[in-house]
Amino acid sequence: MANNMKTFSIVELPISPPIKYLHLRAWGSLSLLLVSLALSGCSDKGNAAKPKGKEAIPVTIATATEKAIPLQLRAIGTGEAYAVVAIKAQVGGILTGVFFREGKDVKAGELLFKIDSRPFEAVLMQAEANLAKDRAQLKQAQAKLAADLAQVKQANANSNRNSIQARQSEAESQRYASLYAKGAISKNQYEQFRSTAEAMNASTMAGNAGVESAEAAVQADLALIESAKAALNADQALIDNAKVQLTYTAILSPIDGRTGSLMVNQGNVVKANDTTPMVTINQLRPIYVNFAIPQQKLPEVRRYMQTGNLKVEAILGKDEAHPIRGKLTFIDNTVDSTTGTVKLKGTFDNTDTRLWPGQFVNVVLTLGTESKAIAIPSQAVQTGQKGQFVYVLTPDSTVEIKPVVVSRTINNEAVIETGLDPGEQVVTDGILKLVPGAKVTVNEAEEKEAK
């Protein structure tokens, strides 16, 4: 270092005090410059003595593997009750009993509420009394009809007899008229037969009038009977309605399900078809799970659905090891224009009631199985300005970049659509230090294969 330093001689001249001050500052700057040059000379000499070389970068690798991988779609879903029933009173009255506890399971046909039934029982009894009265009137009308029919029969018989007698008398009258004209009988004899014929004709006309009167009475009886029958039908309708209203006083559960919050208590007066339900029942077994898929996936889902039932799995939280299994049962008939998605539903038996209405779950819809899919660990895939790529290990222990297209990611594995062949080795760890052509060394004795 001493050999590289240069010596300078400084001659001090007599100067005025201000000039002397500037001279001292120049001397200080010159001294710093000399020190810097000396250190620079030492550094250059050291670098020349020990040149810097390239070190191998430690990495972890995995092998691209060809395997059968399920073709799946993933989404966020929500539970939905299989059926929801809002229980409302169909008749008004005082609530005399509540026969369940809110938040508990109930069975179809189980008694939930009881409304005071006495007013409805009274209406039923009155309707039954009116029915009995109208039945008695119908019997009276039928009896009168029978009597009037007998009168019609008798009147017809009398009319027929009188008609025969009238014809005979008329014939006798005409014969004696001929005899009287010939002078064979007297005028008195002729007039006697003529009077008898006229009397018989008058009797025949009276008999016909009697028949018409009797037939009119029969028609009136028939009308009365029809009216009585109509009254009976009306009475029966009132009875049936009263019975229905009476059944409404006992409110039964229409489905198996779980009750929600109880909105009324015993002693309250309830209204028919009130706006607020008395309680809401949700059917939980089975149960739906709603989820949405991009509209671009709809043709694929419909195509696979034609081959059979599609499996749907609901995952609670991160519990991937214990999915709840169901099947796809519904595809909506329209695309949501605001989101570009289609609503789907999966149906689950939910025997253990792990799923709940409104609960968020992770949904996995399995369409089928891709038998020869190329898979690598998902952490091997990087994203650059030109898209996704991976670092591939070359035979000379360097790395090169290969662009890839990832079709989907499942269970921390990226399924490669294009860009890789089975057996190629990709870097999964140590990627941040890599550049194309970098020398690498594998950390593990055996390569880590993609599962």
Any idea what the CATH number is for the domain that residue 380 is in? 2.40.420.20
Residues 46 and 149 in one domain: no
Q: Which H/E stretch holds residue 159?
A: helix 118-182
Is residue 131, in this structure, part of any structural domain at all?
A: yes
State whether 412 and 378 are in the same domain.
yes
Inside any domain, residue 173: yes
Q: Judge if 323 and 400 occupy the same domain.
A: no
DSSP string covering 221-235, please?
HHHHHHHHHHHHHHH
d(C-alpha 199, C-alpha 193), whole Å:
10
Residue 378, domain member (yes or no):
yes
Task: Supply the pLDDT for residue 217.
Answer: 81
For residues 336 and 301, membership in a common domain is answered with: yes
Q: What is the CATH number of the domain that holds 364?
A: 2.40.30.170
Consecutive sets of 10 residues in the chain, 451 residues long: mean pLDDT of each?
A: 41 41 41 42 40 74 93 94 97 97 96 97 96 92 84 74 70 70 68 70 69 80 89 95 96 97 96 96 97 95 91 93 95 96 97 96 93 93 94 94 92 91 94 92 59 43
Q: How many structural domains compose the chain?
A: 4
85 occurs within a structural domain: no
In a domain, 98, yes or no: no
Secondary structure in 3-state letters for 334-347: EEECCCCEEEEEEE
Is 274 among the domain residues? Answer: no
Any residues with CB less than 8 A from the CB of 120 and at least 6 apart, and which? 91, 242, 245, 246, 248, 249
- Based on the fold, state whether residues 295 and 358 are members of the same structural domain: yes
Picking from 190, 223, 247, the residue at the C-terminal end of a domain is 247
- Predicted local distance difference test score (pLDDT) of residue 16: 41
Task: State the Rg of the chain over Cα.
Answer: 56
Rounded Cα–Cα distance for residues 441 and 429 (Å): 12
If you write DSSP's letter for every residue of 324-335 in order, what string do you get?
A: EEEEEEEEEEEE
308 shares its domain with 343: yes
pLDDT value of position 144: 83
Judged by DSSP in three states, 426 sits in strand
Query: Is 320 found in the same domain as 299?
Result: yes
pLDDT of residue 260: 96
pLDDT for res 54: 65
Decide if 90 is inside a domain: no
Q: Do 236 and 171 have their domain in common?
A: yes
* Domain final position from 333, 351, 369: 369
Q: Are residues 140 and 224 in the same domain?
A: yes
CATH number, domain at 157? 1.10.287.620
**Whether residue 238 sits in one domain with residue 302:** no
How many whole angstroms separate alpha carbon 171 and alpha carbon 124?
A: 70
pLDDT of residue 219: 86
The verdict on residue 291 lying in a domain is: yes
Q: Which of 247, 267, 295 delimits the end of a domain?
A: 247
Domain that holds residue 336: 281-369
Closest CA to 281 of 110, 26, 77, 52: 110
pLDDT at position 165, please? 67
What does the pLDDT read at residue 43? 42
Question: Is there a single domain that holds both residue 211 and residue 136?
Answer: yes
Same domain, 237 and 150: yes
Tokens of 127: 């309707």
